[in-house]
Amino acid sequence: MTAEPAAFSEIKGVGAAKLGQLHAIAELALRFFASQMAREDVMANPQVT
């Protein structure tokens, strides 16, 4: 996530803990899709991307 923490602090209910959760889920998603693309033949199966 590239947004500044100050941008999220303007949203009610989004503090440091919630921002940490958002960063964690973004990282998990990146790792999941990177590993999926490493296992699949991307050129033969465009649905992987």
Q: Are 3 and 23 in contact (CB under 8 A)?
A: no
Select the more confidently predicted residue: 16 or 40. Answer: 16
pLDDT at position 49:
58
Q: Are 37 and 48 in contact (CB under 8 A)?
A: yes
Return the structure tokens found at 20.
């940490």
pLDDT at position 43:
67
d(CA 44, CA 14) in angstroms, rounded, equals: 42
pLDDT at position 26:
93
Select the more confidently predicted residue: 5 or 45. Answer: 5
Instruction: Using DSSP, state whether 11 is helix, strand or coil.
Output: coil
Residue 35 banded pLDDT, cuts 50, 70, 90: confident
d(CA 6, CA 31) in angstroms, rounded, equals: 26
Q: Are 2 and 14 in contact (CB under 8 A)?
A: no
The percentage of residues in the chain with a pLDDT greater than 70, rounded to a whole number, is 76
